[in-house]
Structure formats: C-alpha cells, structure tokens
A and B are shown apart, each in its own frame.
Chain A
Amino acid sequence: MSTQTLSQSTPVERPEVKEKYDHFIGGKWVAPTSGEYFDNISPIDGKPFTKAARGNKKDVELALDAAHEAFNTWSKTSPAERSKLLNKIADVIEDNLEMLARIETVDNGKALRETRAADLPLVIDHFRYFAGVIRADESTISEHDENTVSIALHEPLGVVAQIIPWNFPLLMATWKIAPALAAGCCTIVKPAEQTPTSIMVLMELIGDILPPGVLNVITGFGPEAGKPLASSKRVAKVSFTGETTTGRLIMQYASENLVPVTMELGGKSPNIFMKSVADADDEYFDKAVEGAVLFALNQGEVCTCPSRILVHEDIYDVFMEKVIERTKAIKMGHPLAEDTMMGAQSSNDQLEKIMSYLDIGKKEGAQVLCGGDKAGLNSGLEEGYYVQPTIFKGHNKMRVFQEEIFGPVTSVTTFKTTEEAIEIANDTMYGLGAGLWSRDAHELYQVPRAIKAGRVWVNCYHAYPAHAPFGGYKKSGFGRENHLMMLDHYRQTKNMLISYDKNKLGFF
C-alpha cells in the first residue's frame, strides 16, 4: 500500500455537534437509564466525534410507553393533518440541507458530493411523496347485493419497530419513518451503532413538529437495545434492513409474537452489458461505462451495489478498458472536500471485512484489474477507513461473485449468449437489484423479465425515486419500500359487513 498525497480543495467545516446525545422519547431528550454512552467514531479519521446513549430494555420500554400513549390520538389524526406535518418536516430538512449533508458525511464517511446531491434531496422528496399519497388514498366499498354492503377500511397497525442500517442513515430511516407516520402508526426507530448521530441532529430540528411519542429514536447496541425492541410483544410490526442471520432472528421473534415483518436483506446485483452497448462510441456508450463504475457509489456500501459486471465477450476489451480508466479516475480524499468522489468505509470492521474479500478473491485466482488494496491517504486521514475501488475478473462461482462485500469492489465475467447472461445473473442467493444495458428494444423488455430480482434498472442504475417500488426476491427479503404500497405494510383492513335488510335470515 502506498500513501497518496492529497491535492484537493479544502474540506468544508464540520457542523458543531454536542458532546453527547440522549434518546428521543415522548418528544423529549431522555438520558439512558444506565447513564452510559458510547463513542461515535467518524470513519473520516477514525476518531470519536461525539457520544450516543447506550440504550437497553428499560429505555425501550419507556419509548413503548410513550408511543402507545401517542397512538391513541395519532391514529385518529386526519390524513390532511398528517400530510401537513410530513410536508413541514420536509421543509425543515430542505432549509437545513447543507448542515445535515455535512453531519451525514461525518457520521458515515461518504463523500459530501453524494449527501448533498442524493441522500438529503431524496429524504426531502420521500416525506413529500408520502404526504401526497395519503391525500389521494381511499379505502374500498362493495355492494354484495341490494341490502348488503362491505366496507374495507384501512386502520394503522399500531406501534412499530424500525431498525435502520448505517449505509444511508438518514435516507433509510426516512424510507421507514415516512410511510409509517403517513399510515397513522407511531414508531420506535433504532439507528445503527456505527451511525447514531445524524438522525439525532435531525430530531433536534424536527422533534417538535410531531406530537410527543409519535416518533421515538433510541440508540444503542443490537444485543442490548435492538433485541428487546424487535422481540417486544408490544410492537405490532418490525421493519428491518440488514443481513440474513439477523433477519431470521427478527422473524423468529415475530413468529413468537405473531406480528408481521418486512425484510430488506441485501444482494449481489448483476449489471449486464449486451453486445449492442458498444455499437457506437457515443453518449449512450459513455452512460453505460458510468453505469458499470457506479459500483463505487457510496463506497459500494449499497445493498444493490452492481457488484457483478456481466459483459458480452465481443465487447469486453473495448468496454472494460473504459470502465477501468473511469474507475482509476475516481478521486478519493477527505469526504468533506467538495471534489472528493469517494469517501471512507463506515467502520474499521467493514474495512477489515473488505480486505478479507480482496484476499480470498486473489487466493481463488481472480485477476485484479484495478485497485485491490487499502487506499493510504495522508493529511489527517491516515487512521480513516479507505479502500481503492477494485475490479476483479473471474467466474461466477468464486466467492467474490457470490457474497456481498459491501465495499467498492465489483467482479467482471463474460457471456456468449443472452441465455448465458440470464443464467449467470440468476445464479445467486439474492434477488434485489440488477441492471440491463442494451440498444435492442426486445432485450430491454425480455431480459429484465427473466431476471429474478425485485428491481431491474434498464439503461440506468442506482436511481431510487419515491414512486418506484423497491424490494427483494429470493434471499433479499420481502416487502417493498419507496411506494404507496408501503402504506399497506403499516395498516390492516377493518371490514364492516353491513346489512340493510330488515328481514331475518329465518334460520332460528
């Protein structure tokens, strides 16, 4: 590993943070019952920058008390009122976008360029989307015969638990919070241990918009705070984004309590480049090259990271030459510098795990086309968690082709026929995302239909707009986010079956 001297713009200032953050319960800041806090380490430099409350079962119970009390009134709030409050939250976030983008970068390590242009704008739009859809949402009614009417009315589930991952701390929290509140549920949110701060800074801004107890946030460690929350018989639903073993554990608790769950559990997404991609060296070809390099977005810490590139063998040379060139041009550096293109991995154990995969990839005989090591950065970043964007070449049975590395690592292989491309694409445990790039109108429809994944990007990748349902097939989980169908993940149906007939049945 060589150390790289940084030549880049001066990092912007870090936002001021408090020395420590309490839980947000019942509309108030509440110190952890244990009195304990834990260090939050910034991936930028590996140094603690604030502390978070170390929650436990008692804290979870306090939050459940507050949420259950709030549900009595929140569940009866009109959609117009809930919509107004969600819009207000969006407005406040928009007014504070720059500060929130910076704190998100400090907390998670991703480049400011991305938090400014993607994370925060999507957060804002997501709240507005759910503020909008509940104004147009309707229940159903059917007339079974001239005297019998069935009304199927939506009712909120109750108090829900939402466990948030660390890769897009504010955005993933929003994906869960916005539909739950829109549906009339109260929620207890547990952010990840690696990124417990940005959401608390957000709560300082929006905490008083909602009635006390509607939105509660508890920080702490999975076994101490996450487990009592996910296993509580006082929650009506658990929504989880994370990995398969914890997903199964949460379903195990849910089976004991007989409550529903939704799971988003990762992927190993194929990004398929058909032969026609290289028919011309034009804007579209350039777009496709960028589409392959998007594996480095968010340092590869995305469940849908296009971590397998499948390229037609006839265009491998011309296409991959450009992909490698573009990958090598990715500017790494201080995540708060405006010209940094790729920042730090979120924690030391992530860095170590990625390194272990670079190791097994090489041992299995995969060829390193670029990258392949830590990125040694100086100027105060020596202790931060930086990895070079890496491309392996190999075959689909290698472990680097099958396991979610959750780093800036992709693996390329070739195919000869469309059938082979589909076979390789589907040879995985997962089915979350996929990409299909082609100039052929028939392939544009037929290939995505043959791929077993919940989201297939066609001639694009890594777009996550509200209004497009997102979720997994196979071992990538179930349930959808980002869409009005989410409302039904947080509601149940009250059926009123009404007789307007004055006459008795005549049975008794």
Chain B
Amino acid sequence: MKEYTPRVLATEEAKAIIDQLKKSHDNDLMFHQSGGCCDGSSPMCFEKGDFIVGASDVWMGKVYGCDFFMNEDQFDYWKHTQLTLDVVKGRGSSFSIEIPLGIRFMIRSRLFTSEELLRLTPIMTGEEYLEQ
C-alpha cells in the first residue's frame, strides 16, 4: 500500500496538550487554521463540531486523531508546505480552547520535497468531509 506523507504533524508537547484538552472537555477536538489579523495565521482548537466547516474548507488530514481544516483560498498558498502543530507559552485572544492554560498552539512549517509532493495525504473538500 502506498504510504502517504502527512500534511500536518504534531510535536510531543502539542500531543500532550491535545490529550489534556480532550480529557478536560470530555470530547474529541478539531483544528481550523486561521488567517489574518492579530491572532490569525495560527491554528484554532475547538471541540469537534463546534466550528462549522463548509464547502469552502479543505480537510488536510488528521493530526493526532483530530481533523485539521483550512480555508481553501488559504490552502492554495500553503499546500506546498508541511505543517507541524506545536505549543508555545503565551496568550492568544481567540476562542481557541487551550488559551486558559497560558499556552498557544502554533504552526511550524517546512517545504515538502519534490518526492513527497507526489504522495501527500489526499485532501477532501469540506463538502466531501461532511458527506462521508
């Protein structure tokens, strides 16, 4: 079977926070990559289903069991890079649920190699994701 290169990875620190939040919220989680002002250009973490995805979103795969989405316009400019979900100390002002812990999810990026680009995790549109 062909092995895909994931589009989104997570650091051990990020995984530990995901575990902690899943437990405290007693729910699965999801991520939506934000764009724009202030706290933008950062991943937002919500309880699964709290943020309504739509046809204009792209499902980029699962990261440590959580669905990861981005708006398709933004994805167009990001698709050649592999994202790694990390956490840093700090305080965002969005509705992302890790904020009360005094930490913030953030994204680190690297370029895919030309070989990796040939076997990336297939994406789904938000519509396909909702229909599955």
| Chain A residues with CB below 8 A from B108, complex form | 356, 359
Within 8 A of A (CB), among B22-59: 32-42, 44, 46, 50-52
Within 8 A of B (CB), among A213-258: 221-224, 226-227, 230, 241-249, 252
| Complex Cα gap A397–B111 (Å) | 13
- The answer to whether residues A167 and B38 also contact, given A192-B93, A221-B99, A245-B94 and a CB cut-off of 8 A, is yes
A473 located at the interface, meaning its Cβ lies under 8 Å from any Cβ of chain B in the complex: no
Q: Please tell me if the beta carbons of A244 and B99 are within 8 angstroms of each other in the complex.
A: no
Q: Please tell me if the beta carbons of B88 and A352 are within 8 angstroms of each other in the complex.
A: yes
Q: Please tell me if the beta carbons of A223 and B41 are within 8 angstroms of each other in the complex.
A: no
B96 located at the interface, meaning its Cβ lies under 8 Å from any Cβ of chain A in the complex: yes
**Closest chain A residue, CB of each to CB of B38:** A165
A194 located at the interface, meaning its Cβ lies under 8 Å from any Cβ of chain B in the complex: yes
Shortest CB distance A388–B (Å)? 19
* Cβ contact of A349, chosen from B33, B34, B50, B88, cutoff 8 A: B88
* Cβ contact of B41, chosen from A247, A252, A405, cutoff 8 A: A405
Majority secondary structure of chain B interface residues (helix, strand, loop or mixed):
mixed
A476 located at the interface, meaning its Cβ lies under 8 Å from any Cβ of chain B in the complex: yes
B91 located at the interface, meaning its Cβ lies under 8 Å from any Cβ of chain A in the complex: yes
* Cβ contact of B38, chosen from A242, A252, A399, A430, cutoff 8 A: A242
| Chain A residues with CB below 8 A from B38, complex form | 165-167, 192, 241-243, 266, 301, 303, 406
Q: Please tell me if the beta carbons of A252 and B78 are within 8 angstroms of each other in the complex.
A: no
A363 located at the interface, meaning its Cβ lies under 8 Å from any Cβ of chain B in the complex: yes
Shortest CB distance B86–A (Å)? 8
Q: Please tell me if the beta carbons of A221 and B100 are within 8 angstroms of each other in the complex.
A: yes
| Chain A residues with CB below 8 A from B81, complex form | 360, 399
| Complex Cα gap A267–B99 (Å) | 24
| Complex Cα gap A349–B42 (Å) | 10
Interface range on chain A (Cβ under 8 Å from partner): 35 or more
Within 8 A of B (CB), among A143-194: 165-167, 192-194
A264 located at the interface, meaning its Cβ lies under 8 Å from any Cβ of chain B in the complex: yes
B20 located at the interface, meaning its Cβ lies under 8 Å from any Cβ of chain A in the complex: no
**Closest chain B residue, CB of each to CB of A357:** B41
| Chain B residues with CB below 8 A from A243, complex form | 34-42, 94
**Closest chain A residue, CB of each to CB of B71:** A244
B89 located at the interface, meaning its Cβ lies under 8 Å from any Cβ of chain A in the complex: yes
Question: Which positions in A face B, CB cutoff 8 Å?
Answer: 41, 165-167, 192-194, 221-224, 226-227, 230, 241-249, 252, 264-267, 301, 303, 347-353, 356-357, 359-360, 363-364, 397, 399, 402-406, 429-430, 475-476
Question: Which positions in B face A, CB cutoff 8 Å?
Answer: 32-42, 44, 46, 50-52, 71, 73-74, 77-78, 81, 88-97, 99-100, 103-104, 106-111
Query: Beyond A226-B93, A245-B40, A349-B91: 12 further Cβ-contacts under 8 Å?
Result: A165-B93, A192-B93, A223-B99, A243-B34, A243-B40, A245-B44, A267-B36, A349-B90, A350-B90, A357-B41, A360-B110, A430-B36
